[in-house]
DNA sequence: ATCTGTGCAAACGTTTTGCATCCTA
DNA sequence: TAGGATGCAAAACGTTTGCACAGAT
């Protein structure tokens, strides 16, 4: 599977918009890239970037994540635990083609990733029916995980 | 379409759990029932209940919504605008059988409801493959609405 | 009479903002 | 060197919690 140069993509898009390439922006994206499978909070990212670049501020991380999201370089997920999470964007050529969804247990709160790719048809249908151009989706299932099911019954 | 007596359902479930039937609980559910199509924040609900029952507190609304959600009498939606929203539960026999999803425009933030019912197969597949018992789902599509598409190009 | 539920206000944790300074272009 | 970007601290925001009192069973 082809893998794009994510940093190069960032540089290019910043240039297009007349924005500046800073260490902080490069580092935030690079941390997300190196943690492909994880769903990271701003705080998580802040701590990891701070290992290499201790003078970074949390506010900068928030501002950068917003920017990267606007540019479609990162994906956003909300697991209903009070903070937004980020991961490297599916457009960046990460191995997860963003067909993974989440099963959230109502009882114990566990989050189980689940892969499926039945949404492409639906996206095409939406585009035809409404003129809305779909870029991304977020699908969550709520219910009871097998352990909690057994405990309850 | 059959329509259940939602208040009766609440009374019954409270009794089952040994919890008390209070005006506040009845009123919160009834406001949600009367605003079937809307996605209401705790604040919205608080203000409407307060018209009939001014002494209610916002904390009670939050506690009640949590309770109603635990009992599966209301659905929760997160439209990424910083607050959780609620609507009358699809189990209560509301006319929306909860096959309506949301298209969120990245440009202007508009939220467009969209009906589709292609998720039942996927839910069955999940139950078989993982043992996770699905009760509910939340599906959001992010992209560009037709107006913003035309503006950009 | 008991014990859950409530209202109020304070606390909480995440995210945003104002402003002086820094640094990329 | 000019204007966007940053770090810091304070503010803002939705939501939760502690506690004394009220009210349902």
Listed as ranges, the nucleotides of chain D within 7 A of a protein C-beta are 4-10, 13-18, 23-25
pLDDT tens-digit series, residues A13-48: 999 999 999 999 999 999 999 998 899 999 999 999
Average pLDDT over residues B124-138: 93
Rounded CA-CA distance A77/B80 in Å is 10
Cα-to-chain-centroid distance, residue A99 = 12
Residue whose entry in the numeric block shows the structure tokens 């197969």: B121
Token pair, residue B2, equals 């059959």
- CA B62 to C1' C18 (Å) is 32
Contacts of B16 (CB under 8 A, 6+ apart): none
Model confidence over A42-71: pLDDT tens digits? 999 999 999 999 999 999 999 999 999 999
The distance (Å) linking the CA of A22 with the C1' of C23 is 9
In angstroms, rounded to a whole number, what is the distance separating the alpha carbons of residues A12 and A61? 20
Gap from B20 CA to C2 C1', in Å?
Answer: 13
Residue to substitute from A143, A147, A148, interface B, most B β-carbons within 10 A: A143
Chain A to chain B, count of Cβ pairs less than 8 Å apart? 112
Q: Which domains, from first to last, does chain B contain?
A: 1-97 (1.10.10.10), 98-153 (3.30.1490.190)
- How many other C-beta atoms can be found within 10 angstroms of the C-beta atom of residue A123? 17
φ/ψ of residue A32, rounded to 5: -65, -35
Q: Could you read off the pLDDT of B102-113 as tens digits, one per residue?
A: 999 998 889 999
Report residue A89's pLDDT band, with 50, 70 and 90 as the boundaries.
confident
| Strand C atom within 7 Å of A69 CB | no
The per-residue pLDDT for range B63-99, each reduced to its tens digit, is: 999 999 999 999 999 999 999 999 998 766 655 556 7
């Amino acid at each position: 599977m082809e893998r794009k140069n994510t940093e190069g993509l960032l540089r290019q898009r910043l240039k297009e918009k007349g924005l500046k390439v800073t260490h902080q922006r490069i580092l935030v994206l690079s941390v997300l890239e190196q943690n492909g499978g994880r769903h990271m909070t701003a705080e998580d990212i802040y701590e990891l970037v701070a290992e290499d670049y201790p003078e970074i501020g949390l506010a900068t991380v928030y501002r950068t994540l917003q920017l990267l999201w606007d540019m479609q370089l990162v994906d956003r997920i909300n697991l209903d635990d009070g903070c937004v999470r980020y991961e490297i964007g599916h457009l960046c050529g990460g191995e997860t083609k963003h067909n993974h969804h989440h099963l959230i247990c109502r009882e114990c709160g566990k989050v189980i990733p689940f892969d499926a790719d039945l949404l492409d048809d639906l996206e095409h249908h939406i585009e035809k029916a409404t003129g809305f151009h779909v870029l991304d989706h977020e699908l969550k299932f709520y219910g009871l995980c097998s352990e909690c099911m057994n405990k309850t019954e």
